[in-house]
Amino acid sequence: MNTEIDGLKINYRDEGQGPLLVLLHGWGSNVDLFDGIFKFASKKYHVVGMDMPGFGKSNEPTEPWEVSDFVDFVIHFINKLYPDDKEVILLGHSMGGRVIIKMIGTKSEEELGFKVTKVILTDSAGIKPVPSGKQSSRTKRYKFYKGILNKTGIAKAFPGTLESLQKKFGSADYAAATPIMRASLVKVVNEDLAPYMPKVTMPALLIWGDQDTATPLSDGQQMEKLMPEAGLAVIPGVGHYSFLENQYMYNKILGSFLKIEM
């Protein structure tokens, strides 16, 4: 299905009936990765998820976005398509969790236009990572070579050299992104959302893979401490995509929280 939000063509899925459950995917992902959740949760809930701007089949923003821009987009999406739903449950994976935390931490119920009754954060981002020694060394080398290219005029004469350097030293997500989404990624990952977490006062289920290296289990443990009504469920032997790697266990945990029978 397609709609237009703030001038952007947005692809989304809408399945089931019942209380509204909105799914927000992670960076570099798309709504179809939630297929298993759609099939399971739509037995009792009205499940909706979209390709966020710049991902899947949705349009890319016209300029780099930060977390607050994604927050505003999700609010506009819900209020445009589901204005009669005044209570919403939010489920976010990775960056999707980041958007949820910033939304709840900065917006009042009046500003949202709805009440967030429950939150599910899956291998969520939001804790600003501390660079390892290897990462710090990589960043220093990138800045060193970038300085040489700028001082010698090579970057100005051959703009493609800077882009090649960024791809070489950046993450896989960074290398795969367009220029606008690369700039967006930098804005998103450099924001520490820990100060907003105490404002997540509704029941919050945190589901984590104990082998997650992108957003390690220690992030989930810290979130559990910072969010007053949060509980952490750990799935052993899986990584950053716990809802895909052990779908049965994930749905069992989710079903217990949302009262959905297996």
3-state secondary structure of 78: helix
DSSP 90-135: EEEETHHHHHHHHHHHH--HHHHTSEEEEEEEES---SPPPPPHHH
Q: Where in the chain is the domain with CATH 3.40.50.1820?
A: 2-128+191-258
Please compute the mean of the pLDDT values over residues 191-209 and round it to a whole number. 97
Single pTM value for the model: 0.85
pLDDT digits (tens, 9 = 90+) for 224-234: 999 999 999 99
Count of other CB atoms within 10 angstroms of residue 108: 7
pLDDT digits (tens, 9 = 90+) for 159-180: 665 455 455 544 555 566 788 9
Contact between residue 242 and residue 216 where contact means Cβ atoms under 8 Å apart: no
CA atoms within 13 A on the CB side of 112: 22
pLDDT digits (tens, 9 = 90+) for 104-132: 999 999 999 999 999 999 999 999 876 54
Give the model's pLDDT for residue 89. Answer: 98
Q: Predicted confidence band at 140 (pLDDT cuts at 50, 70, 90)?
A: low
Alpha-carbon separation of residue 44 from 15, 20, 101, 149 (angstroms):
10, 10, 25, 57
110: amino acid identity, one letter = E
- How far apart CA 57 and CA 107 sit, in angstroms, is 28
Give domain 2-128+191-258's CATH superfamily: Alpha/Beta hydrolase fold, catalytic domain (3.40.50.1820)
3-state secondary structure of 222: helix
> Is residue 58 scored above 70 in pLDDT?
yes
Reading the block at residue 26, the tokens are 């992670």
